Amino acid sequence: MSLEGQLLDRKSLRSVQGKTADWNELVKDCVAFSNATGGHILIGIEDGQDLPPANQQIPADLPDTLRRKLAERTVNVAALPNVLTATNGGQYIDLTIPRATSVASTTDGRYFLRVADQSKPVTGDEVMRLATERNALPWETQTTLHIPRTERDFGKFRRLLDALRASDRVKASVKEKDDEELLDHYLLAQGDYLTHLGILCIARQQHRAQLGTAPVIQFIKYDEHAQKINKLVWDDHTLNPMELIDSVWREVPDFRESYELPDGLYRQNVPAFDEIVIRELLVNALVHRPYTQRGDIFLNLHPDRLEVVNPGLLPLGVTPQNVLHTTVRRNEHLARLFHDLKLMEREGSGFDKIFEVLLSQGRPAPELAELHDRVQVTVRRRIIKPEVIDFIAKADQIYHLTQRERIVLGLLAPYDALTARELTQALELPSVDSLHPWLRRLLDWHIVQSARRTQATRYFIDTALLRSLHFTAETTLRRIEPHRLAALVLEDLQRYPESAISDIHRRIGGEIHPKQVKRVLEDLIERGAVRFEGNNRWRRYWVTP
């Protein structure tokens, strides 16, 4: 079963029975799920457990009691209890909470919203924001312009459907639908008309312009005196959101500038702005903006930074302090379309990926600011510490780091040390105790070291290790799979052509047995992926063009 989070919570059976019943807590969670995207509350499964007790039986009258108690204490909340039997024979209740058609509350006038794994109160002006953002009919599904579904741009329509059918994220049963059924499935059309989402993605230029809030992007370049020296605008509505991303990346030449950094006898090119970062920033701007509000997306390029400015505020429940750990989708159906087209990860905002890429390139973390009517993300161009790039790449080759571990290394490597409190703040974690899953393996491998205790604990990377890249800890490379080792060899030869086998062996990991490297090279040569010249100790290897 899934862990608790945006769509799931667990509660003990004791919380709805007898003197230990806590109806206020259950009511709070039900209201919070209703005001978000709906969810499930598993009653009878303890926190941290996947299954109910093996001998647990649900009283026959409990589902009716749940319906009655929740109906008495909530407004606009639907609660659908269903008794299920787990694989171990124990029973539990799956309480399904659909998304409310209007704002849900308790009968005493309190409002809550599900944010990540917490049900947070909504107070003051946020109640009006909640009411505005929780329209019964989402903007995406409205058909107010009455554009017939036949009035579509057949080129855009064909390309979109072909991309969906080619995506491995789309179920086979969905791919089997005919063209008109696919339009209905993705809510691009409803009845005889295109929805706002359909107009945004597959309609003709004039219809997209009629929306009034179809995205317009402005790229403005400034010099060191903050004077405008170049401007590009995408405002004619000929492109849908997916095409806008490709067009901006392709037409702004500054995004493809790069630095040359020394790398031994060679030099390596590091992009001034990574393509992944630019695309993620554009995806976030297009998917998470409020389409009920007018305003252009600005890409302001300064000599030392790029600012992406999006109209509107962050979705309710998301703040600059919790953006790494909070998922709130403002445009649910557009997000699903982008996910299935492999343009984004639907469960997240993409911000964690931006953090990972920037930090692994020795750059500062992105800066997120919420202003009175807009959101601004700033990414810095400067590389603080170039050696971080090779350090994280080599550590990842050896230890197969998780995204969290790459982020931690990227935060620690540019500095002498960070205290537990500073690292907690940088990672936007609720407490120092939450650092454990981020650091545990790095400490075990001695990549990260610590000194002192509690919140004053200092975490750091040995500067000698950072310079030498000599990881001496026992690693999984001794048992590395042949396909993984082949990928490491190819990657190494792409960076260091004309290499001897001893040099390849030293760079990818001296703990690998030399015969493994030799076998992999022979296999790559047989497959035509690698060529060589010379014999014995004079033999050198290249990647085949």
Q: How far is CA 236 from CA 145, 230, 279, in A?
A: 19, 19, 21
Residue pair 399/475 in contact by the 8 Å Cβ criterion: yes
Same domain, 33 and 178: no
Give residue 352's pLDDT. Answer: 85
Same domain, 226 and 357: yes
DSSP alpha helices (H): ranges in 288-386? 332-340, 351-360
**Per the structure block, which two tokens stand in for 528?**
């035509």
Give residue 350's pLDDT. Answer: 67
Confidence of residue 268 (pLDDT cuts 50, 70, 90): low
The boundaries of the domain holding residue 279 are 217-380
Give residue 126's pLDDT. Answer: 81
Strand pairing of 39-43 and 8-11? parallel
Same domain, 234 and 308: yes
Same domain, 252 and 376: yes
Confidence of residue 473 (pLDDT cuts 50, 70, 90): very low
Query: 214-257, pLDDT tens digit by residue?
Result: 999 999 999 999 999 999 999 999 999 999 999 999 999 999 88
Last-in-domain residue among 192, 210, 228: 210
What's the mean pLDDT when you consider all of the chain? 87
Same domain, 200 and 56: no
DSSP alpha helices (H): ranges in 84-237? 125-133, 154-166, 172-175, 179-185, 196-202, 205-210
Q: Which of 176-190, 425-439, 444-458 has the lowest mean pLDDT?
A: 444-458
Distance CA 270, CA 259 (A): 5
Residue pair 202/240 in contact by the 8 Å Cβ criterion: yes
Does the residue 2 lie in any domain? no
**Per the structure block, which two tokens stand in for 385?**
């510490």
Same domain, 229 and 331: yes
Give residue 140's pLDDT. Answer: 92
Under DSSP, the state recorded for 108 is: T
Strand pairing of 80-85 and 8-11? unpaired
Last-in-domain residue among 177, 210, 243: 210
Does the residue 1 lie in any domain? no
Residue pair 56/6 in contact by the 8 Å Cβ criterion: no
Same domain, 456 and 330: no
Query: 276-323, pLDDT tens digit by residue?
Result: 999 999 999 999 888 988 899 999 999 999 999 999 888 777 777 777
Total structural domains within the chain:
5
Mean pLDDT for 460-471 is: 73
Query: 441-455, pLDDT tens digit by residue?
Result: 898 888 898 887 666
pLDDT-above-90 percentage for the chain = 48
CATH classification of the domain holding 276: 3.30.565.60
Same domain, 227 and 339: yes
- Angle between helices 436-444 and 403-412 in degrees, nearest 10: 80
Same domain, 396 and 487: no
Q: Taking Cα atoms as reference points, which of 539, 478, 480, 461 lies closest to residue 504?
A: 539
Does the residue 51 lie in any domain? yes
Residue with tokens 């014999």: 535
Q: How far is CA 122 from CA 27, 61, 78, 109, 273, in A?
A: 14, 33, 19, 11, 38
Does the residue 523 lie in any domain? yes
Does the residue 538 lie in any domain? yes
Give residue 361's pLDDT. Answer: 86
Q: Which of 165-179, 261-275, 378-392, 438-452 has the lowest mean pLDDT?
A: 261-275
Does the residue 419 lie in any domain? yes
Last-in-domain residue among 210, 245, 271: 210
Residue pair 35/103 in contact by the 8 Å Cβ criterion: yes
CATH classification of the domain holding 427: 1.10.10.10
Same domain, 453 and 536: no
Give bridge partners of residue 450 from the DSSP assignment: 459
Residue pair 74/30 in contact by the 8 Å Cβ criterion: yes
CATH classification of the domain holding 27: 3.30.950.30
Angle at CA 257, nearest 5°, toward 256 and 262?
A: 125
Same domain, 91 and 121: yes
Does the residue 3 lie in any domain? no
Same domain, 184 and 314: no
Does the residue 330 lie in any domain? yes
